[in-house]
Amino acid sequence: ESDCANKISTGSTERSATLHSNMVDKELALYEKIVTALPANSWHRQNLPAWKNSRALHERAYCLMNDKNYQAAESFLLEAQAFDINDTSCARAWSIYQNLLGTVELKLEKTAEAERHYKLALQNDLLAAQGGPESADVARDFGYLAALYQKQGKLADADKLLSQALEMDRQILGD
């Protein structure tokens, strides 16, 4: 049985499953309150039950990843993605989930799938940046791809991406 059935660890802090469940319930209740104030035709208002289900699937996947049960986490993330695919209002969250899926795929030695998810996140974040100032999200995506390329032995490609990410971070932070 998953260790997360009894606790959820964040760093060195352990919280009981009940406390964590209460926190998620409060978050969902707050979200529901915000969503009901949106226009009736908004994506979130129309899809609130699906979003709640997606959120629960993501929480379970995080828990399984914490237990290093990547195979089970993968199935929850893929199921959650089916709900999230139509949500165009939160591109950043979608990219984060693509990177999360990529990380799980990489842990499972599915490098082609990992690369696909990392590139989808990068493509999405590049579109969101609209050619504007350097993006911390794009720099993050470069880091994920670089880790994959490093694992594959493509060190020149990894170095190029990490250099670009570092330069973006310097521009953003003014250093």
Neighbours of 153 (CB within 10 A): 9
Q: How far is it, in rounded angstroms, from Cα 175 to Cα 164?
A: 14
Average pLDDT, the chain: 78
Q: Within a 13 Å sphere around the CA of 109, how many CA atoms are in the beta-carbon half?
A: 0
Cα four-point dihedral sign 140, 143, 145, 147: negative
Which of residues 162 and 46 earns the better pLDDT score?
Answer: 162
Question: Which H helix or E strand runs over 16?
Answer: strand 13-16
Radius of gyration in angstroms for the set of CA atoms belonging to the chain, rounded to a whole number:
18
Q: Give the best-scoring range by mean pLDDT among 24-33, 49-58, 154-163.
A: 154-163
pTM over 0.75: no
pLDDT above 90 as % of the chain: 27
Residue 168 above 80 pLDDT? yes
Q: How far is it, in rounded angstroms, from Cα 110 to Cα 32?
A: 36
pLDDT in tens, 45-100: 777 777 777 777 888 888 888 889 999 999 888 888 776 665 555 667 778 888 98
- Are 11 and 20 contacting, i.e. CB atoms less than 8 angstroms apart? no
Read off the tokens for 141: 């995506």
